[in-house]
């Protein structure tokens, strides 16, 4: 079941990146590249899982069990997996998107041809995963070029920034980094600190258990 869940998430990831390449959807921060070339594929996978890891539950059962539970849920529900999951703040779907963020992404990447309606866009998992990859690219436009160069020199630092910005306003993440030289330093919210840690643990676990790099 776990393997089936992971395979389904990989299929969604492949479909999203294929659409980016087929429609030549250019990165907003590096127009010489497509979004598929700019954003590591494994980031989409790990964030889709991280969004559904409860830190309190993880405290008692561990990250491995939490990842397994998400993968089993995906395997059992496939195209309905977390499609109607809505947070108290209004974030919806597998990628837990806010409606304002969705429309911002859609406006910035017209070539991607995202579904115009937010609710339909989030319940269509292919469309939802595609929007997530585009949002990660859009985050990078908030970074000064010097910071972008520093952060992208390390895959771990790059992943930490992408995760922090996905969970929190990327403008605030940039300010935190410039002030503290840490993605989640200083007065960054505890939730954001935990989110970045969890995505790293998810990525490490996937790499170790499923040969995912």
By residue count, the chain amounts to 213
pLDDT at 210: 79
pLDDT at 88: 86
pLDDT at 34: 97
Extract the tokens encoding 192: 């954001």
**What CATH number is given to the structural domain containing 16?**
1.10.530.10
Extract the tokens encoding 116: 């115009």
pLDDT at 211: 67
What burial class does residue 31 get, using C-beta atoms within 10 Å of its C-beta: 0-12 exposed, 13-18 middle, 19+ buried? exposed
Look up the domain containing 34 and give its range.
2-210
pLDDT at 212: 46
pLDDT at 89: 87
Cross-strand partners of 199: none
Tell me how many domains the chain contains. Answer: 1
> Averaged in consecutive runs of 10 residues, what is the pLDDT profile of the chain (213 residues)?
94 96 97 96 94 96 96 96 91 95 97 97 96 97 92 93 95 95 94 96 90 51
Of 30, 15, 39, nearest to 129 by C-alpha is 15
Answer yes or no: are the C-beta atoms of 99 and 118 closer than 8 Å.
yes
Answer yes or no: are the C-beta atoms of 92 and 118 closer than 8 Å.
yes
pLDDT at 213: 39
Cβ neighbours around 184 below 10 Å, total: 23
Extract the tokens encoding 159: 């992943």
Answer yes or no: are the C-beta atoms of 138 and 105 closer than 8 Å.
yes
């Amino acid at each position: 079941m776990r393997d089936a869940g992971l395979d389904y998430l990989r299929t969604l990831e492949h479909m999203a990146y294929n659409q980016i390449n087929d429609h030549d959807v250019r990165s907003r921060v590096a127009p010489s590249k497509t979004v598929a070339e700019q954003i590591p594929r494994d980031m989409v996978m790990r964030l889709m899982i991280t969004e559904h890891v409860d830190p309190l539950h993880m405290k008692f059962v561990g990250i491995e069990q939490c990842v397994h539970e998400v993968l089993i849920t995906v395997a059992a529900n496939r195209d309905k997996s977390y499609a109607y999951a809505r947070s108290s703040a209004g974030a919806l779907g597998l990628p837990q998107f806010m409606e304002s963020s969705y429309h911002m992404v859609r406006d910035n990447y017209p070539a991607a041809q995202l579904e115009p309606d937010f609710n339909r866009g989030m319940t269509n998992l292919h469309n939802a995963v595609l929007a997530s990859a585009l949002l990660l690219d859009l985050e990078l436009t908030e970074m000064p070029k010097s910071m972008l160069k520093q952060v992208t020199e390390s895959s771990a630092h790059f992943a930490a920034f992408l995760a922090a910005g996905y969970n929190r306003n990327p403008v605030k993440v940039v300010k935190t980094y410039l002030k503290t030289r840490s993605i989640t330093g200083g007065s960054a919210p505890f939730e954001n600190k935990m989110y970045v840690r969890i995505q790293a643990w998810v990525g490490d676990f996937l790499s170790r258990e499923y040969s995912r790099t």
